[in-house]
């Protein structure tokens, strides 16, 4: 049973659409601190495991992704590391609304959320490999690769200011409204709601993930940068300022890749000595 007044659902949803709605989630996070700490610990373990798995990998744009099974394992770790900090308040709010002491349903919600992102990883792997097989050397850095990276970053920046981005981000930033509007009881309900919340999250973050692939998906530096942008977009109260900041960062990176890529800290240029050392 939902631990809020069901009769007040309509008015509550209307209220949350008029304001950011992060306060309820953070209040729930304080009341379900143990669950939040668990998710953050899992995120920390995932960061450590990802760093170990990526050690010695080529972190340059367009680098090989490895075998499908290996990539899926690393991708799941990456998503746990990148997404758990920002989704933890929503999971805590869901846990409080269930009025249950058990963490089973919240963890099912989280696992379902992670499964959707795993499917995104599979689709990304397929598109990446298809692009390399079809275009071949046309996407090498010395040919069109550099411009493809710049274009991807510019497109990600433009997506930040689209109505679709705004709609999806609203769902992520108003978890109470989302949960009340899509509530399902039981474990199956936790599965459905976790997947649905992840779908909104994908709509919010897919362009940032594309930017990560463009900059080097096996780079811990860029993984941390993109994770940081995702977290501040979903959790900080200054919504417009945060979106403007993310847009400016992506546009600056796009321009620098096109004009002076070697001046970008953390960017591994394919064919350089640093890229060869990582690949060896």
Q: What is the pLDDT of residues 210-257, one digit of tens each?
A: 999 999 888 999 999 999 999 889 888 888 888 999 999 999 999 999
pLDDT (average), residues 70-74: 92
Provide the 10 A C-beta neighbour count for residue 150: 19
3-state secondary structure of 160: coil
The pLDDT assigned to 23 comes to 67
Distance CA 238, CA 119 (A): 31
pLDDT tens, position by position, 254-276: 999 999 888 998 888 886 655 44
φ, ψ for residue 202, nearest 5 deg: -60, -45
* Region 32-55 average pLDDT: 87
Residue 178: domain span: 6-279
> Does 63 reside within a domain?
yes
In a domain? residue 149: yes
Q: DSSP code of 218?
A: T
Work out how many domains the chain is built from and give that number. Answer: 1
Question: Which residues lie closer than 8 Å to 207 by C-beta, 6 or more apart?
Answer: 155, 156, 159, 160, 165
**Domain-located, residue 162:** yes
What pLDDT is attached to residue 112?
96
Domain for residue 1, yes or no?
A: no
- Whether the pTM exceeds 0.85: the reply is no
- Return the percentage of the chain with pLDDT > 90, whole number: 45
Does 226 fall in a domain? yes
Token representation of residue 85 = 């900090």
pLDDT in tens, 92-115: 889 888 877 778 999 999 999 999
């Amino acid at each position: 049973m939902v631990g809020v007044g069901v009769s007040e659902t309509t008015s509550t949803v209307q209220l949350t659409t008029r304001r950011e709605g992060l306060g309820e989630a953070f209040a729930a996070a304080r009341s379900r601190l143990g669950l939040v700490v668990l998710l953050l610990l899992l995120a920390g373990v995932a960061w450590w495991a990802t760093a170990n798995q990526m050690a010695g990998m080529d972190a340059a744009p367009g680098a090989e992704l490895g075998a499908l099974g290996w990539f899926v394992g690393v991708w799941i770790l990456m998503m746990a590391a990148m997404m758990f900090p920002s989704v933890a308040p929503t999971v805590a709010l869901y846990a409080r609304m269930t009025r249950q002491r058990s963490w089973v349903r919240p963890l099912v919600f989280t696992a379902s959320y992670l499964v959707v992102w795993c499917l995104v990883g599979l689709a990304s792997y397929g598109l990446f490999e298809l692009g390399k097989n079809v275009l071949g050397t046309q996407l090498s850095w010395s040919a069109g690769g550099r411009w493809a990276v710049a274009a991807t970053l510019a497109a990600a920046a433009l997506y930040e200011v689209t109505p679709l981005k705004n709609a999806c981000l609203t769902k992520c930033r108003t978890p109470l409204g989302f949960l009340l509007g899509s509530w399902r009881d039981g474990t199956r309900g936790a599965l459905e709601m976790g997947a649905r919340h992840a779908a909104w999250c994908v709509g919010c973050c897919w362009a940032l993930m594309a930017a990560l692939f463009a900059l080097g998906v096996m780079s811990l530096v860029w993984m941390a940068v993109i994770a940081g942008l995702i977290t501040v977009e979903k959790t900080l109260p200054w919504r417009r300022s945060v979106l403007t900041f993310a847009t400016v960062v992506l546009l600056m990176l796009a321009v620098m890749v096109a004009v002076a890529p070697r001046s970008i800290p953390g960017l591994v240029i394919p064919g350089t000595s640093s890229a060869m050392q990582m690949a060896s």
